[in-house]
Structures are given as C-alpha cells and as structure tokens.
Structure 1
Amino acid sequence: MSDDTIPKDLGRRLGDLSDLPEALRKQIMAVKLDDLEQKIIVTLKDRFDGIANLDELMVGLYRDHQHITEDRRKLANKLYRMQQAGLIESVPKRKGVYKLKESVVAA
C-alpha cells in the first residue's frame, strides 16, 4: 500500500469514545494523553472552569505545574492538535480561546 492511499485522518476516525467501557478506553493508544496534554486539561478544568486563552493557559500551567512554555507557538500547536483530537475546541469568533469539550469535562 502506498502512502497516498493511506487516509490522512488515520487514527482520528474513532469519534467520541465516552460511550466505551473504561477498560477498553485504557487500551486505545489514541486516547492516551501525553504529560503536557494532561496538564492543560487539568489546568483548564480546575483553574479556568474549562475555558481560557493562550496567555491564561501559559500562566496557569506555570502556577499549577511549574511548566514554563519556552515557545508560545509550540503551545499553540499543541492546542491545535488537541482540538483535532477532540479534546478541546476553539471558541468561535475568539482567536486563541479554547474550551474543553463536554465529553472531557464529564470524564
């Protein structure tokens, strides 16, 4: 199979997994969060009631986890990838503002 026949969204076609049993979700690699993703979710949930802009997140990550964002662009890219994975969503008409998806808030 050549690279051009592999779907570009391979691995992201799972959709919302909140209906799956916890035992199954733990085994799915796409569900596993890296350390920074976990910190972002915790900071959004606990400090900002699920919604924050990039500056607030940078400050919150430091205050909650002593995480220093060396490059603002890398954090923005991480948030974009989290959005593509369905963990967060951007707020319409508000550049750089993100909120947790309802399925993540309930978890």
Structure 2
Amino acid sequence: MRVVVISEGETLDSEVAEDFGHAPFFLVVDTDSLDYHVIENEFADSPEGAGVAVAKAITTLQPDAVITGGIVMHGLDILRKANIFVSYDEEGPVEQCIVDFVRRHKRNAA
C-alpha cells in the first residue's frame, strides 16, 4: 500500500504533523518495505488555503491513504472525492503510525 504521511520531519522517526496544510514535509511511504521519499510542503507558509492546496497536490501522488494529525474539512472532502482514505487524529512517530494503520486496515478488511 502507498501512503502519504504528513510529517514534522524527513525521517520515519519524525512526528506525524498536527497541521495538515502547514506541515513542513510529506513522506510517501510503501507500507510493505517502508521505503519512502520526502516531499517538502511548498504551501507550508501560505497564509490561507494551504489545506486545500496540499490536498490537491496529494491527489496527484495517487496514494491509497493519507495519515495525518489533523485536517480541515475542505481538504478531507478533496481527498475523499479522489477515493483516498484519510486516517486523522494520528500522533507519534511516522513509522509507528504506519504500523498501527496497517494493522487496523488488515483487521477491518478481514
């Protein structure tokens, strides 16, 4: 599965970001191998509309899911319309949140 994690830093040890639109980085992660690449959030310093801009940018990456601490409704709507699952209210290190998300996803699919 391919997920985008909204992150405070550039590694899997970084904390999941609380602020979807203004987080400094997105980590695009393969949940099977934990291989990832980092994308700097070009909208992090935008005074307004950052959540919508980030959501639109993420849709172009075509992930299966997004993991974030928080998200605005407009951003959530954009991702859902693109059939991207959003797991929000996540907190802790990126890698642990991915492991927990995959565990929940597999349990719910069974």
* TM-score, normalising length: structure 2: 0.29
Higher helix share: 1
Question: Larger relative CO (CA 8 A, sep 6+): 1 or 2?
Answer: 2
Higher strand share: 2
